[in-house]
Amino acid sequence: MKNLLQLPSIPECAWTRPIGLGWEKPYTVRYASNLDDGPWHGMPLGGFGGGCIGRSPRGDFNLWHLDGGEHIFQTIPACQFSVFEQVGSQPSQAYALSTEPPRDGTLSAWNWYPASDQHQTTGTYHALYPRSWFAYEGVLQAQLVCEQFSPILPGNYQDTSYPIAVFEWTAHNPTDQPITLSILLTWQNLVGWFTNANKSPTVQVRDDGSPEYEYRPRWGQSSGNFNRVLDDNGRVGCLLERSPSDRPIAEGDGQWAIATVSSPYNSEIFYYTRWNPAGDGAEIWQSFAADGSLANFDDERPATDGEQVATAIAVRLTLAPGQTRQIPFVVAWDLPVTEFAAGVTYFRRYTDFFGRNGQNAWAIARTALKLHQTWREQIQAWQQPILERPDCPDWLKMALFNELYDLTSGGSLWSAADERDPIGQFAILECLDYRWYESLDVRLYGSFALLMLWPRLEKSVMEAFARAIPTADPSSRVIGYYYTQGVESPIAVRKVANATPHDLGAPNEHVWEKTNYTSYQDCNLWKDLPADFVLLVYRDFLFTGGTDYEFLATCWPAIQAALAYLKTFDLDNDGIPENSGAPDQTFDDWRLQGISAYCGGLWIAALEAAIAIANLLSTQPDPAAGLPATIATYQTWLAQSRPLYQDKLWNGQYYRLDSGSGSDVVMADQLCGQFYARLLGLPDVVPADCARSALETVYDTCFLKFNNGSLGAANGLRPGGSPEKPDATHPLEVWTGINFGLAAFLLQIGMKTEALTLTEVVVKQIYSNGLQFRTPEAITAVGTFRACMYLRPMAIWGVYGVLTDWQTSNQ
């Protein structure tokens, strides 16, 4: 029979790294209190909201985002793939496929895979989310590739939620002798680990002014955990469980499963259900290293206090010369409950399809073994048209897909469906250092990917904001910014009625219901959030076909309330709300005074969007009362605002930072409002020639004159490229997402070369300096970063949207 299988075709644009090769000088964190796991991050595996795991470019499993919103970065050596090889009658060899042996003396009987160095490679790691590959070279005589993926599928609101990781191994024999190979998957029983043992943690103010609380997982608490083997119509694996309890299922409860399929083509499956991952590992390794087998040992005894248990399955096969074979493995988990504050629990979205009793890991694994090839083909069908676009350079294709990682590993939540939310509620963190969800000022940029690929999830987030705007929370708190300044903080109300909330809450309280978690600033005073809300609602309506009037009608009362609230900050009644002199917008270390280019432009664009929405709603049956009067009011405000903005801020070359500080700083994002107006087909905020002059000035001043264009655009520099204040924070940082938004704006006005040059430089900063799969908010000129796994960098999908006229085709 002719061998039709081939080694996987790995896209040329995938991000690559030699297996186990370290970084000479990876970027490090700017503030000691911020998170810095180091550069060993690989592509995450798992569906949206179901938790995810990560395997790094050195082969170890080290990322465990399995408790919604919480972060654990720690290698578990017993969770590992290993390989045995014997070529003809030559001596055999066996390796655990991580280049990082345990440092605590455990698993000392195992032989660990050699790392690449500057002179030779032992293989290459490739990543193009949601797929990644390990291609092993130079150590084994067989050609061996492991392709890893989860069913992340645009427009799919079922499979995309599954808590599953697929590992499809392809082995080819290029020699003239038979090769016996065995692939081993070992896994420690982790049931019960991923929940906060401190159910009511105290919230404290960190040294950077941000609120934080202690997360104390039940790490290593395995008492009662046990494993058993299953043989289910050709699907063979191990189920990892915990002894049953009389109490209702809680966060952290459930199962894991590892599985593969038996094959009629000369392969054998072995298992060993109970071994000690805290020992030397000899009970597994001795037989595996000898001939690729396991002892077929089945022991379901639960772990005692202080004991750890792990399980293993292996597939052994012989390849004839020239033969190629595939061996699928899956890792599945069923941890159905997410708990926020004590007693505030939600079921995860995938439970709508697999049940909620925590006993469905095998059903999930079985589904993956049945559908994994279909999933891979669907992923390829989604990606291929983009990969074939001649107007998209390879580095852009790579970053487009890989920046989507945050939808999986950004603490993503996706609740089960109910009558109000028929596909559930969705949210991702602003970042791991600022652990609150869907910060509105940040998602003004970072939500393009969700809108373009999973628009129903995007709308669900905006509907949550619409519900939150009229609510109030009178509880008081101190403001962290003043703490960092060493001065007494004013006491602020958490949430004022009709103020647009900054975020949808944090994982230690009640996400979606208790908003405005951040206390770094008093977000009730922010001047960009209401405008952001209006613009995003109109954008989401337009770019999903322009027919979802129910969505507009649902959000309309909140739009009116938000704009009316914002207008109360127009203290001189000249038409534009003034900034207060405190940091009161997304650049929340940057004091703006009077009318500001950033907030004033967003205000004008939002008024135009609100008028457009009101006009659309007036054409519907039973339109809301008072629409003509509301439109007239907004038109009056606009008539005041537009000439005032131009008169107060235009200096003949660019728009001043604000009208009150006297600063001559060139702000990189000064015309975000104009970008959004153009994006939404609204009247310009400023004259087109002024917009172009301002952007040319930004490009020259903030990008070319900042470290000679080698880092990206700084947020704000004086003409000539010098800092206004050498010790400033935000003005001298390169914000990755703001840069991608700026690049989209440059594309929008026809400065394509400049847009792609800027984008490429920022992408290089991320993917050449150990920041992959933890893209930060900000980088600095001294090789430091701040706020990793940030939401805003998904603004790169805005670059793609403008480059490919996506917005035109969706209107």
The single residue listed with the structure tokens 């290293």 is 289
Give me the pLDDT at residue 374, please. 98
Question: CB-based contacts of 245: which residues, under 8 Å, 6+ apart?
Answer: 253
Section 168-181 average pLDDT: 97
pLDDT tens string 231-248: 999 999 999 999 998 889
pLDDT tens string 324-334: 999 999 999 99
Cβ(131)–Cβ(149) under 8 Å? yes
The single residue listed with the structure tokens 């969700």 is 450
Give me the pLDDT at residue 811, please. 40
- Is the model's pLDDT at 129 over the cut of 80? yes
Give me the pLDDT at residue 727, please. 87
- Start-to-end Cα distance in the chain: 52
Backbone angles phi, psi at 682, to 5 degrees: -95, 165
Give me the pLDDT at residue 265, please. 66
Question: Strand 473-478 to strand 491-495: parallel, antiparallel, or no bridges (unpaired)?
Answer: antiparallel
Give me the pLDDT at residue 517, please. 96
Question: Strand 579-580 to strand 491-495: parallel, antiparallel, or no bridges (unpaired)?
Answer: unpaired
Section 680-687 average pLDDT: 98
State the angle between helix axes of 597-618 and 672-679 in degrees (0 to 180), rounded to the nearest 10: 20
CA Rg, the chain, in Å?
Answer: 27
The single residue listed with the structure tokens 């690049």 is 743
Q: Which amino acid is at 369?
A: L
- Is the model's pLDDT at 150 over the cut of 80? yes
- Cα of 206 vs its chain's centroid, Å: 23
Give me the pLDDT at residue 1, please. 41
Q: Which amino acid is at 228?
A: R
pLDDT tens string 410-441: 999 999 999 999 999 999 999 999 999 999 99
- Is the model's pLDDT at 535 over the cut of 90? yes
Distance CA 307, CA 243 (A): 14
Distance CA 297, CA 283 (A): 10
Distance CA 256, CA 20 (A): 28
- Is the model's pLDDT at 523 over the cut of 70? yes
Task: Give this prediction's pTM.
Answer: 0.97
Sign for the CA dihedral angle at 756, 761, 762, 766 comes to: positive
Sign for the CA dihedral angle at 11, 766, 57, 236 comes to: negative
- CB-CB neighbours of 614 under 10 Å: 23
Section 1-6 average pLDDT: 64
- Is the model's pLDDT at 358 over the cut of 70? yes
- Is the model's pLDDT at 782 over the cut of 70? yes
pLDDT tens string 616-655: 999 999 998 999 999 999 999 999 999 999 999 999 999 9
Give me the pLDDT at residue 33, please. 87
Q: Which amino acid is at 551?
A: F
Give me the pLDDT at residue 728, please. 87
Helices (H) and strands (E) in the chain, counts: 19, 33
In this prediction, residue 3 has a pLDDT band, given cuts at 50, 70 and 90, of: low
- Of residues 663, 488, 685, 483, the one with CA closest to residue 581: 663
In this prediction, residue 266 has a pLDDT band, given cuts at 50, 70 and 90, of: low
- Of residues 161, 805, 125, 766, the one with CA closest to residue 452: 805
Give me the pLDDT at residue 457, please. 98
Residue 707, classified by CB atoms within 10 Å of its CB into exposed (0-12), middle (13-18) or buried (19+), is: middle
Give me the pLDDT at residue 12, please. 97
- Cα of 680 vs its chain's centroid, Å: 26
Give me the pLDDT at residue 182, please. 98
What's the Cα-to-Cα distance from 798 to each of 443, 676, 734, 748, rounded to whole Å? 12, 11, 18, 10
- Is the model's pLDDT at 2 over the cut of 60? no
Mean pLDDT of the chain: 96
Residue 26: both structure tokens together? 């990876």
pLDDT tens string 372-416: 999 999 999 999 999 999 999 999 999 999 999 999 999 999 999
Which residue spans within 666-726 are E strands per DSSP? 666-667, 716-717
What's the Cα-to-Cα distance from 498 to each of 191, 525, 608, 624, rounded to whole Å? 43, 12, 20, 19
Give me the pLDDT at residue 666, please. 98
Question: CB-based contacts of 500: which residues, under 8 Å, 6+ apart?
Answer: 440, 465, 469, 526, 529, 530, 532, 533, 562, 565, 566
Distance CA 799, CA 776 (A): 18
- Of residues 92, 170, 185, 186, the one with CA closest to residue 134: 170
Give me the pLDDT at residue 485, please. 86
Distance CA 171, CA 181 (A): 8
